[in-house]
Amino acid sequence: MYEQIKVYEAGDRKPKPLDEDLRFGDVFTDHMFMMDYAEGVGWHDPRIVPYGPVSLPPAAACFHYGQTIFEGLKAYRGPDGRVLLFRPYDNARRLNASAERLCMPGVDEEMFVGAIEQLVALDQDWIPDAEGTSLYIRPVVYATEEHLALKPSSTYTLVILLSPVGPYYRRGIAPTKIYVETEQVRSSPGGVGAAKTGGNYARCLQAEFRAASQGYDQVLWLDGRERKYVEEVGAMNVFFRLGETVVTPPLCGTILPGITRDSVLHLLGDWGVEVEERKIGLSEVVDAHDAGLLLEAFGVGTAAVISPIGLLHWNGKDMEINEGRTGEVTARLYDALTGIQRGSAEDHFGWIAEVRLR
């Protein structure tokens, strides 16, 4: 049995933004969850406190050796007033898989989900209602021991933040323009590409900034060994509809095992759509486009849910997909997933966890 969560409520509550003013990830609720770890003691002192700065010494290991991991999930207000989480135990399992890869301590799954539920229940008034909005939940674990020796830290802190968010892309589910990166790589075999750790995203920033400066929304990453196989789009897994078959790269240690990706695979299988998880050469995508067989492409992830791809740019060539419009499978997936997440569609898979409100 885990330790009871202490609650220290904020005295002064912050003003809440209007739903139509929400962007992604720049507003935070009144409270956050914290819990500490010490070698020989384990996780202890779980608490909900007013949102605010945390104090760390400049020699804290997280600053020097990158021992940080995080997760991302969402809470939604259903049409009947219920507050719903989407697959939170899968986030707990993935957090622990990332922890194992970075020599960090895992967190009890029930404790993790229970902490999220209690925090969301306390700040439930922050959950927006407008279409495309949600309450984004960001758990992060970071090393806190003061040392400069290269070794795993002996102390850590888990923090869970809440942020009411609008659509990841301001224009909502509209086709994006993607730049295919052929020089830099996101991850390599044997690395930490499958872990949700900050370093994976830091190494993407330069290429993404360069792509954005040319008018593109995201970067399509290729494999780190041969620069010929498709891997991920920005912070999302990627799918292509080639004829009547939907294909996506396999989980082989270099891409994130996305929870939205897994949900899409389940939905497509349930609909009887032919799906292949296999290596996809960029040349295959280009040939399919030239032959008129690249019918749709889309990225999937917690932040954007489903993001249609309307154009790929590679080696000076613009390849428009489905005349730059959202495809039928892409739109159906978006409607099905968001319907389940918001409680307006039946959940056949047992993905939804209801938050017990105070």
- The residues, ordered by sequence, that sit 6+ positions from 108 with a Cβ below 8 Å of its Cβ are 2, 43
Distance CA 220, CA 314 (A): 10
pLDDT, tens digit, for every residue of 35-50?
A: 999 999 999 999 999 9
Q: Contact, 158 vs 123, CB < 8 A?
A: no
Quick one: tokens of 199?
């370093």
What does the alpha-carbon distance between residue 53 and residue 74 come to, in Å, rounded to a whole number? 23
Strand pairing of 236-242 and 294-301?
Answer: antiparallel
Q: pLDDT tens digit string along 68-111?
A: 999 999 999 999 999 999 999 999 999 999 999 999 999 999 99
Element (H, E) at 222: strand 218-222
- What pLDDT, on a 0 to 100 scale, did the predictor assign at position 171? 65
Q: Of 47, 70, 46, whose CA–CA distance to 138 is shortest?
A: 70
**pLDDT tens, 112-139?**
999 999 999 999 999 999 888 999 999 9
b/e code 297-322 from CB counts within 10 Å (16+ = b): bbbbbbbbbbbbbbbbbbeeeebebb
- DSSP-based three-state secondary structure for 166: coil
Where are the domains positioned within the chain?
A: 6-166, 176-342
Residue-level pLDDT at 272: 97
pLDDT at 205 over 70: yes
CATH class of 176-342: alpha beta
Helices (H), the chain: 61-65, 88-101, 109-122, 198-202, 205-213, 259-270, 282-290, 328-342
CA distance 49 to 119: 10
- Quick one: which of 79, 107, 105 has its CA closest to 93? 107
Residues 171, 134, 163, 218, CA torsion sign: negative
First to last CA, the chain: 22
What are the φ/ψ torsions at residue 230 (nearest 5 degrees)? -70, 140
Answering whether pTM is above 0.85, one says: yes
The residues that bridge with 7 in the sheet, in sequence order, are 48
Q: Name the nearest CA neighbour of 232 among 223, 221, 241.
A: 221
**How does pLDDT run across 297-326, given as a tens digit for each residue?**
999 999 889 999 999 999 999 999 999 999
CATH code of the domain occupying 6-166 = 3.30.470.10
User: By the 8 A CB rule, do 85 and 99 touch?
Assistant: no
Half-sphere exposure in the Cβ direction for 15 (13 Å, CA): 3
Q: Binning pLDDT at 50, 70 and 90, where does residue 235 land?
A: confident
How far is the C-alpha of 74 from the C-alpha of 128, rounded, in Å? Answer: 11
